[in-house]
Chains A and B, each alone.
Chain A
Amino acid sequence: MITLQNVRKRYFGGHEALRDISLHINAEELVFLTGHSGAGKSTLLKLIALLERPSSGKITFDDVDLSQVVGKKIALHRRRVGVIFQNPTLLYDRSVFENVALPLQIMGFSATEIQSRVQASLDLVGLLKKSPHNPVILSGGEQQRVGIARAIVSRPDVIVADEPTGNLDPELSIDIMNLFIRLNQVGITLLIATHDLSLIDPLNYRKIELNQGSLVLPGFAEETSA
């Protein structure tokens, strides 16, 4: 599904965020990306979502070399990758429903299709009743779930989540993690960056650890998840 080969990322100013990263993520896999702050987790996710470009190396997504994805194809690639940030990046001048509907409007879905899909997504994250409300009145956990609903409403192939529980209390964090597990159970590939080891340690999914831009263990499923 996603393969990184000798990927390096050096930012303007010389900071090397990723060093010679090679890893593979299978379709329908749930992978946790761990490491301290500044380890390169966010950069790796940004590379997959084409929010950044690698300085060297190759990233393939469904056998497509991402370096060849340019122009309008970048937008089309992002429709296949649902992105969830620590900050849910919602639009506070729109209702919950309108926030979740945005990716479908972008893709040109009809009003009836948008209605049914948004309702299904909000139902999944337990916020159907909050649909007409403005996100500003929701709690942090609810806002994060709106962000998740928005990420899944267009049925992406992959969801990348950058510290999705970073601002949440432990109880809400567990709820969100359970939601990700349910999404994975229905076949969505997930790559979740978190530094909260206590949250993911009990979970039996592959964990990739980054330390100062390098992989602590080789990032291939057969070598680490046994």
Chain B
Amino acid sequence: MRQKKPRGATPKTAAPTKSSAPPTNKPKATTADQQIKHATLNVWFIMHYNALANAFKRLSRAPLATLLTIMVVGVALSLPAALQVVIKNLATSQQALNEQAGISLFLKPNVPQTEINQLLENLQQNPMVEKTSFKSATEAWQEFQSSAGFQNSTSLLDNNPLPALILVLPKTRDYSPEQVEKLATELQNLAPVDIAQVDINWVKRLFSIVEFFKHSAIYFSVFLIFTVLIVIGNTIKMLGQSFQDEIVVSKLVGATDGFVRRPFLYSGMLYGLAGGICALSFVFIGIFIISPQLNEIAELYQTRISIIGLNFSDILSLLITGIILGLGGAWVAANRMINNIAI
């Protein structure tokens, strides 16, 4: 009888010499459990390296089909990424406009200064108020007189018709336009206040537009996530069909499901990563093309707009999303394929 030696998945014996004699120094396994335990980190790396190399090889066999799949994934991922850019820019504009949206409190005539001071103190204690500024009727009149084109017209007036004014700047970062409007209504009811005026319509419109884009982005993202999953899953399925013989033979000679699945998972991840890079290219090209035209429009309004692109975190998120979606699609397709091959 031959001497039994422990054998694992890890090669433990010296390399056999090249000879016509059959290999006899067989490392033996006592049980299958021991084989699993003896799998070393080195073997793990070798197997993953081989699977990755195998995935590259499989994708490179059909370069045009691979490129088309990457493009489809890229287009699908670029749409939510582009919406993200739009939302970021609109939100920044909204923030800027919102910060300018103050509440003007026109005071009734002849309100005593003590009452005005008390009102200013109360307003400062209001949690919704960022800051306040007071402009007396005299200051307002002087400012009006100094304004270009009004010098002659003010001389026609006997008295100062302008009221004293308190400008209230709400904490717009923390509160919605509706809440700011509600604050204005509350201030309107204060005794010294004649009129409380808030011009927040612009902010409200922009807020609605941003909300619309946010909801659209969520809808499109969910829809396109499924698109990417289906595209990659279907591609992996077709890839699996062309490698069916290899899968059958591999399983016959002792491949685990994990071994069979691994190259497909790497293929899916490569599709997702390459699709993500493709999507980034589309977005940056889009920004590059749109920026000059947007600035031409902005110049008509004597202003300048600089588009906020994707930052490092956005880029990383997009690539990771691509990889995860690729992995997910490949996982589902590979598992279904392996289950269908009953060996």
To the question of whether A and B form a pair in one complex, the answer is: yes
* Contact yes or no, A108 B249, CB < 8 A: no
- Decide: A123 near B255, CB < 8 A? Known: A73-B32, A102-B250: no
* Contact yes or no, B254 A113, CB < 8 A: no
* Contact yes or no, A109 B254, CB < 8 A: no
The interface residues of chain B lying within 8 Å CB-to-CB of A137 are: none
Smallest CB-CB separation from A117: which chain B residue?
B16
The interface residues of chain A lying within 8 Å CB-to-CB of B26 are: 155, 157, 187
* Contact yes or no, A78 B246, CB < 8 A: no
- With an 8 A cutoff between CB atoms, is B63 at the interface? no
- Decide: A78 near B11, CB < 8 A? Known: A69-B32, A155-B26: no
* Contact yes or no, B253 A103, CB < 8 A: yes
How far is B17's CA from A116's CA once the two chains are assembled, in angstroms? 7
The interface residues of chain B lying within 8 Å CB-to-CB of A154 are: 253-254
- Decide: A155 near B18, CB < 8 A? Known: A89-B248, A102-B253, A109-B11: no
B interface, size bucket: 35 or more
How far is B252's CA from A49's CA once the two chains are assembled, in angstroms? 9
* Contact yes or no, B22 A89, CB < 8 A: no
Interface residues of A in 155-203 (CB under 8 A from B): 155, 157, 182-183, 186-188
The interface residues of chain B lying within 8 Å CB-to-CB of A69 are: 32
* Contact yes or no, B256 A120, CB < 8 A: no
* Contact yes or no, B18 A117, CB < 8 A: no
How far is B248's CA from A78's CA once the two chains are assembled, in angstroms? 13
* Contact yes or no, B24 A103, CB < 8 A: no
* Contact yes or no, B11 A113, CB < 8 A: yes
* Contact yes or no, B11 A110, CB < 8 A: yes
Output the residue of A93, A107, A154 with the most chain B CB within 10 A. Answer: A107
Interface residues of B in 237-269 (CB under 8 A from A): 245-246, 248-259
- With an 8 A cutoff between CB atoms, is B205 at the interface? no
Instruction: Count A-B contacts at CB 8 Å.
Output: 123
Q: Which of B42-50, B196-204, B300-308 contacts A (4 or more CB under 8 A)?
A: B42-50
Q: Mark A79-96, 1 if CB is under 8 A from B, else 0.
A: 110010000011101000
State how many angstroms separate the Cβ of A113 from the closest Cβ of chain B.
5
- With an 8 A cutoff between CB atoms, is A150 at the interface? yes
- With an 8 A cutoff between CB atoms, is B31 at the interface? yes
Q: Mark A128-153, 1 if CB is under 8 A from B, else 0.
A: 00000000000000000000001110
Smallest CB-CB separation from A83: which chain B residue?
B252
State how many angstroms separate the Cβ of A123 from the closest Cβ of chain B.
6
Interface residues of A in 58-106 (CB under 8 A from B): 64, 69, 72-73, 75-80, 83, 89-91, 93, 102-103, 105-106
State how many angstroms separate the Cβ of A152 from the closest Cβ of chain B.
7
How far is B253's CA from A121's CA once the two chains are assembled, in angstroms? 15
Report which of B27, B44, B46, B246 forms a contact with A110, defined as CB distance below 8 A.
B46
The interface residues of chain A lying within 8 Å CB-to-CB of B32 are: 64, 69, 73, 76-77
The interface residues of chain A lying within 8 Å CB-to-CB of B43 are: 108
How far is B137's CA from A13's CA once the two chains are assembled, in angstroms? 103
- With an 8 A cutoff between CB atoms, is A204 at the interface? no
* Contact yes or no, A64 B31, CB < 8 A: yes
How far is B27's CA from A121's CA once the two chains are assembled, in angstroms? 16
* Contact yes or no, A186 B250, CB < 8 A: no
* Given A72-B258, A113-B11, 17 other A-B residues pairs in contact with their CB atoms under 8 A: A64-B31, A72-B256, A73-B33, A79-B9, A79-B253, A91-B245, A93-B246, A102-B253, A107-B9, A108-B39, A109-B11, A151-B253, A155-B27, A182-B22, A186-B22, A186-B23, A186-B24
Chain A residues near B (Cβ < 8 Å): 27-28, 49, 51, 64, 69, 72-73, 75-80, 83, 89-91, 93, 102-103, 105-110, 112-113, 116-117, 119-121, 123-124, 150-152, 154-155, 157, 182-183, 186-188
Supply 26 A–B pairs (Cβ within 8 Å), ascending by A: A72-B256, A76-B9, A76-B32, A76-B35, A76-B254, A89-B252, A90-B249, A91-B245, A93-B246, A102-B253, A106-B253, A106-B259, A107-B11, A108-B10, A110-B11, A110-B42, A116-B15, A116-B18, A120-B18, A120-B23, A123-B20, A155-B23, A155-B27, A157-B26, A186-B21, A186-B23
